[in-house]
Structure 1
Amino acid sequence: MSSVNILVTADVCPHAKLEASFLGAGGVKLIAPAQPFIDRADLVIGNLEVALCDEETPIPKCGPNLRVSPKAAAKLKELGFGLLTLANNHTMDEGIPGLERTLAELRSQKIPHCGAGLTHEDACQPAVVSVKGKSVAVFNFAEGEYAQAQGNGPGAARLDPFWSENRVQRARGKYDIIIVVIHAGNEYQPIPSLVTAAFCRRMADAGADAVIAHHAHIPQGMEYRHGVPVCFSLGNFLFGNEFGGHTVAWPGAWYLVSVAELDFGDAGTTLRLHPFKQMPDLSLAELSPKGRAAFDRYLVRCNEILADPVLHQRYWEQEARDLFKNLKPALADAAKKLNSENEEEAYRAATLLYGLVHCDAHHETLERGLRLIYERRFADAPEIVQGLAELRALIKECFVEG
């Protein structure tokens, strides 16, 4: 077949101070360095990580409830996005009314979308588009968070070992190209957990022609699995940086962006990652030559770790140690408050604990941390600590000039 070029971006969330410039004339300038890749793509897929609504109807959750003006739908179309994925941890931030308004705005702009719906059955349906005469089906699933649909109710499509794989398997042979987009992972960790990596690989085994993941707010490496390109995390794409009065410090992993360029041709599928950085004003910029060299070294090292199952486990276990140490005070506090006679205090504690056990990434952190303590292996592995420090140093180098 003639080559089909598809560009996949990670999180698009133009909230807070970013919203005004995004909706105005500055929207084009914000993503200008990525425009050549958008222009040459036959299809651009982005992850809409925010509710499109004016009214505040927030759900109870741990973490921020994000929303932007419904006008963002038209702006995304104007900027070249041809398909949007919705399975993420913010798609239900404003409850069912927010989801209904989001879906209505996307329909009004005739933007194909997938990954969320008013029933779980609808959420799991692929978005199917024709590209150069080829049928392209895009599936989108997210790990367990507060936005995930329960039963056949509204929300994000569930990522699980049966439901999502079964959908992809049933689609084999029906479409020329199948892309699976996953929203999962442990935030800010250079190496994906064993569970996140397994989810991605199982989608490739189920019949996907490409698997692209995001959510971790940091690039996490890539591989080809039996010829199928798999990217474990792209990082962000265009994300505001203010949350409840806190601003994410610059520079850092939050501001390191990559987009996935997929070429589907007769000789197979290729994946190229193109890195950018979000500047303090949140616009995208190209990496300097030194910054690009650092990104390439970072990616090579991540890929080496992922290719070695033993090394991958050792890196993930060290990340789990670090994450669990940070969780321990919150766990102790929540366990105490769960028994509080104050109903609201107990409710907030239960909300936190529910999120930790329901979300696959957090659950894996808890389980691995407890297992390491049980096996008396919770002490840090110095050489892996050093390896993670070197990866994070390379991320900082991505922002150097010259």
Structure 2
Amino acid sequence: MSISHKLLFVGDVVLHSKPQFSTEIQQLFRASIMRCCNVEAPLQGAGKSVDKTGPLVYQAARAAEWLQELGFNLFALANNHIHDYGDEGLLATRNSFPLDSIVGAGREEDAYGMCAKTIDGIKYGFVAYGENGYGALNGDRNVGYAWVNHPRVDRDIARFKAQVDVLIVQVHAGVEMLDVPLPEWRKRFYEIMDQGADILIAHHPHVLQGIELYKDKPICYSLGNFYFEYPSDHPQWNIGGLLEIELKDAKFHHCNLHVVEKKDVSVVLWDKERANTLLERLNDKLSGSTYEQYVDREAVTLWKKHHAQYYAKAVNGMVDYSFKGILKSIKRMVSSRKVDYNMMWHNLCIESNLWLVKRAIHRLKKGHDTP
């Protein structure tokens, strides 16, 4: 007799109120054996803020309780905000959930470990990683989140796959507010699939991205925000994805990406026609012949809008934003030790930031999109 299971995944969650799900979403939850979200921030009340570039994010002290009441039973903690309130904040948050329901954060062996669940005789394995960031376990701390480019990751994935029937990998990575993945991330995700992952699900960009089948296995590039209570004027901030994956006899059978929207404290499903229009557009961008040119143009746009300023801040507000001017200013400021090293680390060590800027500079050097 065939065994069929459904798994459900949503993207980034930061709660300051308890969400209310529409009837349709409640039905999807009831039909799924595993229901997972990315817990994007520590719970309020433990730890002290760390020294970092970017916002410090926390969520309500009762967020763990609310998420479990809503039906979630698997929690990914590998992300760039989970360590915003240090070791104490991360560990207190981790301890607020059942320890057999957490992936991606804690002390090193816990963070890089696999959560295994056996259901109807089928063994599922879940792991979660994030791109480099403040809190990544990249050799300079004992508590944090699993880093997707750590040398151990590929070996771990191959080892985990040998222990389970189905291995699901989540990765928190990508360029924020960009509706396609960088080619560098696509390449990395292919490597992860080749090591043994059966399904790969990503989040972090805060907007939806497309889905592709790689060797008949699904890669979802970004689920966007599910319920992220943090100020933003971006029109897609409250729109995300709910990914429903169906497996038959421990083999991927089908996936359905539903589009959801946060409206005040409610989360509702878009109708199929509206959702399909958006998803087709995203998938066309991902699979089209102009995909890489589109990425490079967007890289230049984001360089002009944000990243040039990030380099300016790192070296005390230089005015000349040309590549030559950046190099001269960095050299001058380093010699006088007037450098914001947190910002410089943010620019050079977080993979998405570095790869995006390299693409922008390469295009500008060719004379395209001259500022």
Q: Same fold (TM over 0.5)?
A: yes
Distance 2:302 2:55 in 1: 20
Following superposition, the deviation at residue 90 of structure 1 comes to: 0.8
Whether 2:48 is the aligned partner of 1:57: answer yes
| Cα contact 2:49–2:84 (8 A) shared by 1 | yes
| Cα contact 1:77–1:111 (8 A) shared by 2 | no
Match of 2:3 in 1: 2
Gapped regions of structure 2 (runs ≥ 5): 318-329
Match of 2:286 in 1: 306
Distance 1:10 1:236 in 2: 5
| Cα contact 1:200–1:232 (8 A) shared by 2 | no
| Cα contact 2:168–2:197 (8 A) shared by 1 | yes
Match of 2:344 in 1: 353
Match of 1:68 in 2: 59
Letter in 1 for 2:64: A
The superposition leaves residues 321-369 of structure 1 with CA deviations (integer Å, 9 ceiling, x where unpaired) of 11111221331242236739998xx46x221121121111111112112
Match of 1:319 in 2: 298
Distance 2:21 2:336 in 1: 47
Whether 2:284 is the aligned partner of 1:283: answer no
Following superposition, the deviation at residue 74 of structure 1 comes to: 2.1
Whether 2:115 is the aligned partner of 1:114: answer no
Following superposition, the deviation at residue 105 of structure 1 comes to: 1.5
Q: What is the DSSP-based 3-state SS (H/G/I as helix, E as strand, rest coil) of the residue aligned with 2:356?
A: helix
Whether 2:152 is the aligned partner of 1:163: answer yes
| Within-5 A mapping of 1:190-339 | 190-242=179-231, 248-249=232-233, 252-266=235-249, 268-279=252-263, 281-287=264-270, 289=271, 292-308=272-288, 310-326=289-305, 327-336=307-316, 339=333
Q: What is the DSSP-based 3-state SS (H/G/I as helix, E as strand, rest coil) of the residue aligned with 1:361?
A: helix
| Cα contact 2:300–2:361 (8 A) shared by 1 | no
| Cα contact 2:80–2:136 (8 A) shared by 1 | yes
Distance 1:115 1:340 in 2: 36
Distance 2:265 2:297 in 1: 32
Distance 2:29 2:370 in 1: 46
Letter in 2 for 1:350: Y
Q: Describe the shift of the 1:68–1:342 C-alpha distance in structure 2 as closer, same or farther (beyond 3 A).
A: farther
CA RMSD of aligned residues (A): 2.3
| Cα contact 1:84–1:111 (8 A) shared by 2 | no
Match of 1:174 in 2: 163
Gapped regions of structure 1 (runs ≥ 5): 243-247, 381-402
Distance 2:37 2:22 in 1: 13
| Cα contact 1:82–1:111 (8 A) shared by 2 | no
Following superposition, the deviation at residue 379 of structure 1 comes to: 4.6
Which residue of the other structure, out of 141, 146, 157, is the alignment partner of 2:129?
141
| Cα contact 2:22–2:269 (8 A) shared by 1 | no
Letter in 2 for 1:168: I
Q: How many residues align?
A: 353
Distance 1:141 1:165 in 2: 12
Whether 2:183 is the aligned partner of 1:187: answer no
Q: What is the DSSP-based 3-state SS (H/G/I as helix, E as strand, rest coil) of the residue aligned with 2:45?
A: coil
Match of 2:321 in 1: none
Following superposition, the deviation at residue 56 of structure 1 comes to: 4.8
The superposition leaves residues 167-225 of structure 1 with CA deviations (integer Å, 9 ceiling, x where unpaired) of 11122231011000010001111111112222222222221111100011111100111
The superposition leaves residues 248-280 of structure 1 with CA deviations (integer Å, 9 ceiling, x where unpaired) of 227x1111121110111146431110111111x
Structure number with higher helix proportion: 1
Q: Percent identity?
A: 25
TM-score for both structures, normalised by structure 1: 0.82
| Cα contact 1:9–1:258 (8 A) shared by 2 | yes
| Cα contact 2:102–2:115 (8 A) shared by 1 | yes
| Cα contact 2:138–2:150 (8 A) shared by 1 | no
